[in-house]
Structure 1
Amino acid sequence: MFYAILAYHVEQTVQSWTPEEDAALMEDLLEINARLTRDGKLGPAARLGGTAEAVTLRGPGDGVVIDGPFAETKEQLLGLYVLDCDSQDEAIATARDLRRVNPTAVYEIRPIMLYLPGAPLATGAK
């Protein structure tokens, strides 16, 4: 079954890290990604841009585009992983691995009811 692991963090904390601190954390997280990829468990994963750059589409008809997500939480959704796990326990174990290297993050584990991988995207995100 596919599971989404949604990574939440206090955005101001993440933005306060020096480039070296951020790179060190990403190196640790990418080690987990590499292991999951070798095991054939990892699907798409993404680190999202800041909420200051986000917009939300809501309302009837064509909707209205408004600035930001306006979440009423301390943590913001900053990234996600899609995993192919045999059980929820396996997905939870993976989230625990992620938390070991990023202990101030919060990870929400959710089953995916429909998974459409789409077309492969070119690398080189800006």
Structure 2
Amino acid sequence: MAKYLLLKHYRGAPAAVNDVPMEKWTPEEISAHVRYMDDFAARLEGTGEFVDAQALAPDGMWVRYDGEGRPPVVDGPFAETKDLVAGWMVVDVDSRERAIELAGELSAAPGAGGEPIHEWLEVRPFLGAAPTVTE
């Protein structure tokens, strides 16, 4: 088994086939989208492939080390940016192909008008343990 991160990006600018920005969705369309995500996670819990998932708020901040003990903080990310990390799901699957299959299915979550949004998901394997050097 290998863990993969399925990273959801919200694109303020149209980038998916169903390119209506989320802020223009009706409350019912948003509920249907969230229900799809919940049902998808529940199904993967049943197969033992689900690890965790979280949605992220659109506000946040950037922080970096300043060398003086008081890291500067800048508001962001900004919802009006072209690309914003919206959330993620971690799956534990038998193969890369299975991770791709699940990401493709997750990409079909409904959006405006109930149509699949066909969003791009970033699929990243977790970095495994570094090889051990033995002498």
TM-score by length of 1: 0.78
Higher helix share: 1
Post-superposition CA distance 1:35-75 (Å, at most 9, x none): 1111111111001111xx2111124334211100369x622
Unpaired stretches in structure 1, ≥5 consecutive residues? 116-126
TM-score by length of 2: 0.73
Q: Which runs of 4+ in 1 moved over 3 A?
A: none
Q: Who is 1:89 aligned against?
A: 97
Q: How many residues align?
A: 112
Post-superposition CA distance 1:67-101 (Å, at most 9, x none): 00369x62211010011011111101000010122
Report the CA distance shift for 1:9/1:105 in structure 2 as closer, same or farther (over 3 A).
farther
| Structure having the higher Rg | 2
Q: Confirm or deny: 8 A CA contact 2:109 2:118 kept in the other structure.
A: no
CA distance in 2, matches of 1:43, 1:111: 13
Q: Confirm or deny: 8 A CA contact 1:9 1:104 kept in the other structure.
A: no
Report the CA distance shift for 1:60/1:91 in structure 2 as closer, same or farther (over 3 A).
same
Give the alignment's Cα RMSD to 1 decimal.
2.2
Percent identity, aligned pairs only? 32
1:8 and 2:1 correspond: no
Unpaired stretches in structure 2, ≥5 consecutive residues? 14-20, 111-116, 130-135
